């Protein structure tokens, strides 16, 4: 559901986003085996013509694994920041949920967004038994 502010950040369900510079992509990558994540990250860098390395990117995923929350701070779209989570369903398929917020309001809303996402992640993991 879109926010009530005049300036809003909305992602449509089913939109496809890059893995490496979005909160939902980083969250999903953090749940994958290391070698799978590395392969996908390097492939995306190559396909997008980005000068990136696994050595520089992998600490981002380690931080996500530790906290359970992934961030995109103006990385995918300037002016939009997001926090996100990933989880597996009963079949082991990975899914992600992220909350995009205009960067100008992200810091003031960050704690509430993160708390809501972590609560949701706990509920979903209990539901799916993960």
* pLDDT tens-digit series, residues 45-81: 999 999 999 999 999 999 999 999 999 999 999 999 9
pLDDT for res 41: 98
Alpha-carbon torsion angle 59, 50, 97, 3, nearest 10: 120
Rg over alpha carbons for the chain, rounded to the nearest Å, is 15
pLDDT reading at 6 higher than 90? no
Whether residue 27 contacts residue 85, with contact meaning beta carbons closer than 8 Å, is answered with yes
Instruction: Give the model confidence (pLDDT) of 98-115 as tens digits.
Output: 999 999 999 999 999 999
Of 6, 20, 18, 10, the closest CA to residue 101 belongs to 10
Q: Residue 88, SS3?
A: strand
CA distance 35 to 96: 20
Residue spans per domain, the chain? 23-128
Supply the pTM of this predicted model. 0.87
Instruction: Give the model confidence (pLDDT) of 89-99 as tens digits.
Output: 999 999 999 99
- Rounded mean pLDDT of the chain? 91
Q: Kindly give the pairing relationship between strand 80-88 and strand 70-73.
A: antiparallel
The arrangement of secondary structure in 23-128, i.e. its CATH architecture, is: 2-Layer Sandwich (3.30)
pLDDT reading at 121 higher than 60? yes
């Amino acid at each position: 559901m879109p926010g009530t502010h005049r300036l809003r950040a909305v992602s449509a369900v089913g939109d496809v986003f890059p893995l490496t510079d979005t909160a939902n992509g980083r969250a999903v990558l953090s749940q994958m085996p290391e070698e799978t994540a590395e392969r996908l990250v390097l492939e995306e860098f190559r396909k997008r013509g980005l000068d990136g390395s696994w050595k520089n990117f992998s600490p981002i995923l380690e931080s996500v694994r530790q906290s359970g929350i992934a961030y995109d701070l103006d990385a995918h779209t300037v002016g939009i920041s997001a926090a996100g989570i990933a989880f597996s369903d009963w079949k082991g398929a990975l899914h992600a949920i992220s909350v995009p917020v205009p960067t100008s309001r992200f810091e003031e809303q960050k704690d509430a967004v993160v708390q809501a996402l972590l609560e949701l992640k706990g509920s979903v993991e209990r539901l799916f038994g993960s």
